[in-house]
Amino acid sequence: MAASIGAGLNRVDGHLKVSGGARYAGEEPIANMAHAVLIQSTIGKGRVAEIDTGAAERAPGVLLVLTARNAPKLPGTKANPRRPGEAYPLLQDDTVDYNGQHIGLVVAETFEQATHAARLVAVRYAEEPPLARLEQALDKAMVPKHFRDGAREPDSRRGDPEAAFAAAPVKLDQTYTTPVEHHNPMEPHAVTAAWDGGKLTLYHSTQGVFPSRKTVAGLFGIPVDDVHVISHYVGGGFGTKGSTWPHVTLTAVASRMTKRPVKLMLTRRQMYSSNGYRSKTIQRLRLAADADGRLVAMMHDGILQTATFGEFVEPVGLPTEMMYACPNVAVTHRVAPINAGLPTFMRAPGEATGMYALESAMDELAAQLAVDPLELRLRNYAERDEHGDRPWSSKSLKACYERGAAAFGWARRNRRAGATREGDVLIGSGMASATYPANRSQAGATVRLGADGTAVVRSGTQDIGTGTYTIMTQVAADALGLPPSRVIAELGDSAMPATPVSGGSQTAASVMPAIHAAAKAVREQLLALAVGLNDGPLAGAKPADIDIANGALFLVRDPSQREDIGAVLSRAGRDAIAATRDVQPAADAKKYGMHAFGAHFAEVRVDTALGEVRVSRYVGAFAAGRILNAKTARSQAIGGIVYGLGMALTEETHVDARTARIVNANIAEYLVPVHADVPAIEIVLVDEDDPHVNALGIKGLGELPMVGAAAAIANAVYHATGRRVRDMPIRPDKLIAAS
């Protein structure tokens, strides 16, 4: 039987999704369910001076109007205030810190009744002038207190970058900015909460079944085992569903107070003010090189916005620490609190924004040196992780450069900016590097092999649309010697073995080794049974002499000596055999720098009269360890590039400086790329063998393809026009005004 791992297996959950059989968090049919609707602030700063809920409480079907006046005090509201969304605001006081903050919740028999009643609530505010934008708070910028959850310092340096910069013959000093961006997954946030005595069940659209359970249990001050989280299908997350936002806990509060199951589904507009966003960034890059184009100094200073009531840091400088060979490097991060919701993780947080700035600066440095941009990167190729002073576990970036450039036709590029034209259209090409850490965490799985020859693999992880059901099936099938059609994958339930959040591109790298280990343990049990049966065709053989394929065990030297899995179990008097395994990162993992790498090549066409930019060709080449499914991997790569296209050309959240209100909180005016914006995208997946990252050699691929995509497009725009726009996104008005 051909190996399942690596093959482009169709999604095993695909039919359920296209036929409507896949139930998402807001679709669970629960008896006696009530419906909740949020009440949100309409000012950017101040307090609720008075809130009149009388008309709402008298409205038809209303069961509860929950505000700070009647909300219970939750024991764990101060448990972890620095984490996005987990502690505030939960109606614990009358303070208003941002426009759109939750100040109440209406529960009624129907969604329509709750919506009507929420509009009847009258609020009088004691209003204060807000700090609505990062630019208004630059004088308040400060060193982060909880950078990377305290795992490291926010600043780093090696060598003497200031002195090296001052002495260098070639210097670049530029500032790059990225705007506030919102995630916009296809499925809005949804949760249904139901209490049974002191035990709570949450049907929750989440990227972290187990972190969500822990957070909610902590806020209510109840044992973790008393919270059951179920998340069988998630319609996209991109980071916004990686934290347990206040609407989840408030729904659970409402359920406990009404003694009814309660469902809350956020509207698309509420998604812009309820569950985080990517912070605006202001990044100063100073690069210095010798006359041969070798970097001698790099300084990357980032200023990011955060909230007045908590801290989240977009770690823009981390890629600069390790991306290129350079003896003198300094990175700083500063945060400025404003009256906005708390920022959060958004696809490749830090790497996407930081590499946009770094790779744009490298392109500008190449222009100064009159060196091909790809050649400049090769001259500064980092053969080891210089920040960690350690070797790479594996690194195939050169292969990504070579194969991507060949597929794109980079060698045919005219180096002179503005040199290629077709009528009124200027044509340019640009490239950029990609990198993302090879993250992994402790994870568990159970595999059960039945006498019918069918295996069930269970892990509490979540599938956020990336194809986790499918690769679980493939890994278990290969380890057990079964065709994928005889493996059933189950996930998304906190009653199953624990797993980490689906963030940091770590699900495959964490969960699949656990599934592989559990399946191997089951296989070993099966082989022991087969050789131990006195009258079996494999009796007395050594387990090492037996293989399994297509659901049958056989002697490698004589395949005619074989027996079906079901027959082995039946003759052994077993209905099934099972094993559970919990796997954590290798003890020596910190000895290596572990990253995935890639390269982007983009062609753009710019209308000289309108300033309109169209991406016309694109090649992305990526090396992310062992590829488990070629089809879903390619899909992930294309999706990441499209995300980067939006970052480069269209996506920007606009905030009214007077009211701190988001004025384009919809996908009619917050412009995400649509089919007409996206060219044919060629993906090159570079084979990579990494013996150190985990037992299966897997690195994450979910975020890597977005990193550098915006820079490649921006660099292509410069090459087409000779005009450099350093403030994302590249709208026509900016391009026309650029000098």
Integer Cα distance of 708 and 360 in angstroms? 9
The DSSP bridge pattern shows strands 156-158 and 102-108 to be unpaired
CB 288 within 8 A of CB 60: no
Give the distance, in angstroms, between the CA of residue 388 and the centroid of all CA atoms in the same chain. Answer: 24
Cβ atoms within 10 Å, residue 337: 19
**Phi, psi dihedral angles at 432 (to 5 degrees):** -160, 160
Query: With DSSP H G I counted as helix, E B as strand and the rest as coil, what are the percentages for the chain, rounded to 5?
Result: 30, 25, 45
> Helices H, strands E: what count in the chain?
17, 27
Helix, strand, or coil here: 226? helix
Structure token digits, residue 32: 């006696």
Lookup result for tokens 């384009």: 664
Rounded Cα distance between 72 and 478, Å, is 51
Cβ-contact 178, 353 below 8 angstroms: yes
- How far, CA to CA in Å, does 731 sit from each of 668, 674, 737? 16, 16, 10
What is the β-pairing status of strands 102-108 and 227-230?
unpaired
Q: Is 703 a catalytic residue?
A: yes
Peptide bond into 179 cis (omega under 30): no
To the nearest 10 degrees (0 to 180), the angle between helices 630-649 and 709-721 is 50
Q: Where are the beta strands (DSSP E) in 29-68?
A: 34-40, 46-52, 62-66
Q: How far apart are CA 123 and CA 299, in angstroms?
A: 49
Catalytic residue, from 314, 402, 563, 703: name it.
703
Query: Which residues are known to be catalytic?
Result: 703
